[in-house]
Chain A
Amino acid sequence: MEPTNDQDPSYYHKVVDCQWACPAHTNVPGYIRMIAQGQFDDAYMLNRESNVFPGILGRTCDRPCEPACRRDRVDGQPVAICRLKRVASDLKGDISDRLPVIPSKKNGKRIACIGSGPSSLTVANDLLPLGYEVVMFEQFGKPGGLMRTNIPEFRLPDKVLEDETQVILDMGVDVRYNTPVTSLRALLAEGFDSIFVGVGAPRGKELDIPGRHDEVDSHIFIGIDWLESVAFGHVSSIGSRVLIVGVGNTAMDCCRSSRRLGGTDIKVMARRPREYFKASPWELDDAEEEGVGIIVNHAPKRFVIEDGKLIGMEFDVLDWDPGAKQSTVLRTVIIPCDDVILAIGQENAFPWIERDLGLEFGDWDMPVVDKATMQSTLAGVFFGGDAAWGPKNIIWAVAHGHEAAISINNHCSDVDLNDRPPQGMNLVSQKMGMSEWSYHNDYNPSPRQKMSHVELTKRFESLDLEVELGFSLEQTVHEVQRCLNCDVETAFNAPACIECDACIDICPVQCLTITSNGDEADLRSRLSAPALNLDQDLYVSAPLPQTGRVMVKDENVCVHCGLCAERCPTAAWDMELFDLQIPYAASANFIRIGAMSPSGASRS
């Protein structure tokens, strides 16, 4: 193999599995160390830099970081990254003086954001400090988009949502509440310098089976519409027997909300076996803990309506082949119920975008959006969040918002949208002395801490009682120690190596080998321990000075204990803190001003 290019930030970045997996590349180990030292404000601000909504995400994130976490491969349980984020948010003090300063003199550019969800708010967060004016159009009377309408208060308290959205709105967003945008043509005519579309995927999928439209009064609901009505207080009760069709995270929110609005016999009806569910495992656990039944292998056949009244639903009971590709119907069954909530997916809908504006629509009637720049085919109109490529989640919306902000800044500065600032990195040695590091390098065998919940007897008293209590101080102390500090990287300097084998002998997971070079498959097979996880890279050094062999490191289960560096007599191994420099609109502006006009004068 060619020597690994460790000057490319992406090599070390990939070693930090959580940060690599996070769409917004949150510096997870960095903020966990800050929590460990009681620096909650710092931990919060480090989070906010990349993910903007630490308090909201600390409760609701889909956590792509956690399945990726190296700790999962080390003891079978990832670090509770998401819940630690909430700790930082819950325990932070006043951070108002650490927020970006908004210039009183504006740069003369006006941006329209359609929707006030996470992607639009991120765009505003990134552009306001640069002097942009941001006008935000919101169809309802409160901000937050799907974070408000679709996530029940027992998971995300109103205050947390309010605080983090308000921080951005207070930077000077001109919000137009109760103002749905009904025509893009009309908006374009208003002369905005750029338009960002962050309207989400607002239409719940319909289930057109017999009986769907035969009711006199309505007891069949579309999940996200129903959750929205609940969020705004338009719905305050439901029948005692409720069927939820679908088994994604919306279904989980529907069933648990039903439980609080009068439902006592609630069943979530799934077509496929459990391992194919879309819902996050922890949301399934929470629903089951509240007594919700999860019924697998039932495909909806018809609504049973008698005298214009819903009395039940008929299902095909399926038998799936291994792999759940083909099914056969074993029998049908009628399950009686009072209400049905359909939570089988969401779709995008853009009835307000005229199709003759030059904004192209492609497959599935979705706008054609550039993956890197977030721009549609109509210059100056950008998409992000669920509006761009269909339903994802909050953290993706934030990531889209950051990218769109860079594009909008470029667009408004007559810079090519593809001229995007690159990622950079800092690597700093953490050596403090003989066998002494600036981080806690010992492996802590603590198991993952379990989140405590409000007692079941009290939980259903009100809709806004938050179920998760957050980690106690003691739990926090244990959980932070489980982080392996993957960002404290093993950095190797081949010319200094005397090939004494000390690092190889000391490594607790046998991830190091000195051997003759070969192609990747060959090398993977003849390391100290075979490198079987192909998702994890091999580090290959330049030829070593004495024998010309190479140092190979399998990144898979390195626990970053630093013993290789402690045992190295020549400091060829060092433990160095990797800090990913993520470009944002503001940093792009800074870099470009520096490059273009040494005086630092602002651009037109």
Chain B
Amino acid sequence: MPSITKPLIPLSPLPKNDLGLTIRDYEGQMSTLCAGCGHDSVTAAIVHAFWELSTPPHMIAKLSGIGCSSKTPTYFVRGAHGFNSAHGRMVPIATGAIAANRELTYIGISGDGDSLSIGLGHLMHGIRRNVKLVYVIENNGVYGLTKGQMSASADIGSRPKKGEANVLAPIDPVTTALSLGATFIARSFSGDKEQLVPILKAAIAHNGFALIDVISPCVTFNDHEGSTKSYKFMRDHEVKEVETDFVPIRTEIRAKIPTDGAIEVTMHDGSSVRFRSVPEGYDPHDRMKVEEYIRDRQSRGEIVTGLLYVDESAKELHELNATPASALAKIPYASLCPGSAVLASMQEDFR
């Protein structure tokens, strides 16, 4: 833990966003994670994304479960709403919050333990309901908070710091989400903000559940020789063939960027995601092809990163349930809960 709080420097010449805020206004408390933890870089990427999008801090809600990853919402956007829930239970809490107030931007931070072991059932249903939530998995392949046991995302043959190599097959959140019908699937690396920040911005703009699996090395328990989730391993095995840019709405109005042949996806809010480059024959709308490509690369020992699949046509939770356009939380109580007489008459309809 650092000896001091990151000081605020009066004249430090930091640029301001459309709201007149500097990036320092999107920070949170000092991180108590290990020095060099990948999670802190993910935190910084989230700070960048929200600052660049000029999202008002009070219009953000950040949620998490339990684990090193789940501590991180404390470290970004101190002005946002937040809920630190029980282990693996971030999705149900988020679903409730989203149902009640659809006007906020929701971001959930989870880890490979929180998401792929104890919380896997909830994750699946979050995908199934297509709740409008940015779901970040800070994936390091170990249970860091309990001293480095291999997690459900550890690859076969990956060696822990002490003890035997892992023999169990990993659960890959990306292919799992593909098979469950997720509408926004990306993988990135904490050591690569140039890729991660645009993906986060696209995820925030996405109309539905946006899953981002971020390989985020654990410097203390999983950054050694023999690990498949170390900084070095990622730099040696990462394949960045799918490259995207996020284009905010206002940029589009100002300048027409040439789009010769590039795949462009218009997001729900009018912004767009442009695929700068994809492998020959790759189609980020074709679930089968994407999975085939990822599995092919996996079999060669390579880790594909980028915004891999996106479907902006699917309906999210509120659209599926035909709820009112305004937040339920803002509907006057008398209308929201019209009383037992109305309930009785409704029940009568089902008899």
B37 contacts chain A at the CB level, 8 A cutoff: yes
Let me know if A501 and B3 touch, CB within 8 A.
Answer: no
- Interchain CB contact (< 8 A) of B36 among A76, A436, A561, A567: A567
Let me know if B7 and A501 touch, CB within 8 A.
Answer: no
Let me know if A500 and B219 touch, CB within 8 A.
Answer: yes
Of the listed stretches B10-18, B297-305, B317-325, B329-337, chain A binds B10-18
B153 contacts chain A at the CB level, 8 A cutoff: no
Contact mask for chain B residues 23-50; partner A; CB cutoff 8 A; 1 contact, 0 none: 1100000000011111011011000000
Let me know if A498 and B231 touch, CB within 8 A.
Answer: yes
Say how far A494's CB is from chain B's closest CB, in angstroms: 15
Contacts of A563 in B (CB 8 A): 2, 4, 6
Let me know if A500 and B191 touch, CB within 8 A.
Answer: yes
Question: A74-B12, A499-B231, A502-B36 in contact; A510/B44 too (CB < 8 A)?
Answer: no
Let me know if B4 and A441 touch, CB within 8 A.
Answer: yes
Question: A501-B191, A501-B193, A563-B6 in contact; A529/B37 too (CB < 8 A)?
Answer: no
Contacts of A353 in B (CB 8 A): none
A66, B231: Cα distance in complex, Å: 44
Say how far A550's CB is from chain B's closest CB, in angstroms: 15
A508, B5: Cα distance in complex, Å: 10
B311 contacts chain A at the CB level, 8 A cutoff: no
Contacts of B41 in A (CB 8 A): 500-502, 505
| A437, A506, A547, A570 interface centre (most CB from chain B within 10 Å) | A506
Let me know if A566 and B11 touch, CB within 8 A.
Answer: no
Let me know if A74 and B9 touch, CB within 8 A.
Answer: yes
Say how far A108's CB is from chain B's closest CB, in angstroms: 57
Let me know if A569 and B40 touch, CB within 8 A.
Answer: no
Interface extent on B, as a size class? 35 or more
A278 contacts chain B at the CB level, 8 A cutoff: no
Let me know if B44 and A504 touch, CB within 8 A.
Answer: yes
Question: In chain A, residues 29-84, which have Cβ atoms closer than 8 Å to a Cβ of chain B?
Answer: 73-76
Contact mask for chain B residues 223-262; partner A; CB cutoff 8 A; 1 contact, 0 none: 1000000011001000000000000000000000000000
Let me know if B44 and A73 touch, CB within 8 A.
Answer: no
A326 contacts chain B at the CB level, 8 A cutoff: no
Contacts of B208 in A (CB 8 A): none
A395 contacts chain B at the CB level, 8 A cutoff: no
- Interchain CB contact (< 8 A) of A557 among B2, B4, B11: B11
A441, B9: Cα distance in complex, Å: 14
Let me know if B235 and A546 touch, CB within 8 A.
Answer: yes
Contacts of B15 in A (CB 8 A): 529-530
Contacts of A445 in B (CB 8 A): 7, 10
B1 contacts chain A at the CB level, 8 A cutoff: yes
Contacts of A443 in B (CB 8 A): 4, 7, 9
A543, B204: Cα distance in complex, Å: 35
Contacts of A498 in B (CB 8 A): 36, 219, 223, 231-232
Dominant secondary structure of chain B at its interface with chain A: loop
Say how far A150's CB is from chain B's closest CB, in angstroms: 37
Let me know if B6 and A506 touch, CB within 8 A.
Answer: yes
Question: In chain A, residues 504-528, which have Cβ atoms closer than 8 Å to a Cβ of chain B?
Answer: 504-506, 508-510
Contacts of A75 in B (CB 8 A): 9-11
A357, B290: Cα distance in complex, Å: 92
Say how far A360's CB is from chain B's closest CB, in angstroms: 49
B8 contacts chain A at the CB level, 8 A cutoff: yes
| B1, B6, B7, B235 interface centre (most CB from chain A within 10 Å) | B7
Let me know if B13 and A500 touch, CB within 8 A.
Answer: no
Contacts of A501 in B (CB 8 A): 40-41, 44, 190-191, 193
B126 contacts chain A at the CB level, 8 A cutoff: no
B217 contacts chain A at the CB level, 8 A cutoff: yes
Let me know if A566 and B35 touch, CB within 8 A.
Answer: yes
Question: In chain B, residues 80-110, which have Cβ atoms closer than 8 Å to a Cβ of chain A?
Answer: none
Let me know if B11 and A74 touch, CB within 8 A.
Answer: yes
Contacts of B35 in A (CB 8 A): 502, 566-569
Let me know if A502 and B40 touch, CB within 8 A.
Answer: yes
Contact mask for chain B residues 190-213; partner A; CB cutoff 8 A; 1 contact, 0 none: 110100000000000000000000
Let me know if B37 and A499 touch, CB within 8 A.
Answer: no
Contacts of A285 in B (CB 8 A): none
| A445, A500, A506, A569 interface centre (most CB from chain B within 10 Å) | A500
Let me know if A561 and B235 touch, CB within 8 A.
Answer: no
A8 contacts chain B at the CB level, 8 A cutoff: no
Interface extent on A, as a size class? 35 or more
Let me know if B40 and A561 touch, CB within 8 A.
Answer: no
Contacts of A561 in B (CB 8 A): 4, 6-7
Looking across the interface, which residue of chain A has its beta carbon closest to that of B192? A501
Say how far B201's CB is from chain A's closest CB, in angstroms: 18
Contacts of B12 in A (CB 8 A): 74, 508-510, 529, 557
Question: A567-B2, A567-B35, A568-B36 in contact; A500/B11 too (CB < 8 A)?
Answer: no
Contacts of B4 in A (CB 8 A): 441-443, 561, 563
| A75, A445, A547, A567 interface centre (most CB from chain B within 10 Å) | A567
Say how far A478's CB is from chain B's closest CB, in angstroms: 16
Question: A500-B38, A510-B23 in contact; A435/B11 too (CB < 8 A)?
Answer: no
A532 contacts chain B at the CB level, 8 A cutoff: yes
Contacts of A547 in B (CB 8 A): 235
Contact mask for chain B residues 287-329; partner A; CB cutoff 8 A; 1 contact, 0 none: 0000000000000000000000000000000000000000000
Say how far A179's CB is from chain B's closest CB, in angstroms: 54
A443, B10: Cα distance in complex, Å: 11
Question: A499-B191, A569-B35 in contact; A73/B11 too (CB < 8 A)?
Answer: yes
A529, B22: Cα distance in complex, Å: 11
Looking across the interface, which residue of chain A has its beta carbon closest to that of B3? A435
Question: A566-B35, A568-B35 in contact; A508/B9 too (CB < 8 A)?
Answer: yes
Say how far B12's CB is from chain A's closest CB, in angstroms: 4
Question: In chain A, residues 554-580, which have Cβ atoms closer than 8 Å to a Cβ of chain B?
Answer: 556-557, 559, 561-563, 566-570
Question: In chain A, residues 19-36, which have Cβ atoms closer than 8 Å to a Cβ of chain B?
Answer: none
| A443, A505, A530 interface centre (most CB from chain B within 10 Å) | A505
Let me know if B9 and A502 touch, CB within 8 A.
Answer: no
A375, B227: Cα distance in complex, Å: 67
| B13, B24, B217 interface centre (most CB from chain A within 10 Å) | B13
Question: In chain B, residues 105-150, which have Cβ atoms closer than 8 Å to a Cβ of chain A?
Answer: none
A567, B7: Cα distance in complex, Å: 15
Question: A501-B193, A532-B13, A569-B36 in contact; A435/B1 too (CB < 8 A)?
Answer: yes
- Interchain CB contact (< 8 A) of A76 among B11, B13, B37, B235: B11
Say how far A350's CB is from chain B's closest CB, in angstroms: 47
Let me know if A441 and B3 touch, CB within 8 A.
Answer: yes
Question: A76-B11, A557-B12 in contact; A566/B3 too (CB < 8 A)?
Answer: yes
A567, B41: Cα distance in complex, Å: 11
- Interchain CB contact (< 8 A) of B44 among A505, A508, A556, A568: A505
A75, B231: Cα distance in complex, Å: 38
Question: In chain B, residues 163-199, which have Cβ atoms closer than 8 Å to a Cβ of chain A?
Answer: 190-191, 193
Contacts of B1 in A (CB 8 A): 435
Let me know if B14 and A510 touch, CB within 8 A.
Answer: yes
Say how far A463's CB is from chain B's closest CB, in angstroms: 41
Contacts of B37 in A (CB 8 A): 500, 502
Question: A74-B10, A546-B235 in contact; A437/B3 too (CB < 8 A)?
Answer: yes
Say how far B108's CB is from chain A's closest CB, in angstroms: 21
Looking across the interface, which residue of chain A has its beta carbon closest to that of B7? A443
Contacts of B223 in A (CB 8 A): 498, 569
Question: A435-B3, A567-B2, A567-B35 in contact; A500/B9 too (CB < 8 A)?
Answer: no
22 A-B pairs whose Cβ atoms sit less than 8 Å apart in the complex = A74-B9, A74-B10, A75-B9, A76-B11, A443-B4, A499-B191, A500-B190, A500-B231, A502-B36, A506-B40, A508-B8, A508-B9, A508-B12, A509-B9, A509-B14, A510-B14, A561-B6, A566-B2, A567-B2, A568-B35, A569-B36, A570-B36
Smallest CB-CB A-B distances: 3 pairs: A569-B36, A443-B7, A505-B44
Chain B residues in the interface with A (C-beta under 8 A): 1-15, 23-24, 34-38, 40-41, 43-44, 190-191, 193, 217, 219, 223, 231-232, 235
Given A74-B11, A500-B217, A563-B6, output 5 extra A-B contacts at Cβ < 8 Å.
A435-B2, A498-B219, A499-B191, A508-B9, A557-B12
